[in-house]
Amino acid sequence: MNNLRQLNTACEQSTLENGKPPTALGDLVGPGKFIRTLPVCPAGGEYRLVPGDSPASAKIVCSVHGSQEELQQRLRGTSR
């Protein structure tokens, strides 16, 4: 959960600073960027950036856990 939160916060910050959402994880991760190194999913998943319908709706998802919202719902036991 924390990895997704950190990556999505970096995505939001990038959007605010640049006036447009990032187009790839490489825009967020690396020396001198929002996150120094890409977090590792504890379940072996891969993180990817999903563009949204509007600049503010871009988000990061995990191939194992899905989005931050989906993971929060599953952890609460209220999955749709």
Domains present along the chain, CATH in parentheses: 2-76 (3.30.1300)
Secondary structure (3-state) at 68: helix
pTM (2 d.p.):
0.86
Give the C-alpha distances (Å, rounded to integers) separating 77 from 4, 44, 67, 71: 19, 22, 15, 10
**Residue among 76, 66, 50 nearest 3 (CA):** 66
Written as tens digits, the pLDDT of the chain (80 aa) is 999 999 999 999 999 999 888 989 999 999 999 999 999 999 999 999 998 777 677 899 999 999 999 998 988 986 55
Q: Quote the pLDDT of residue 55.
A: 63
Determine the pLDDT at residue 28.
95
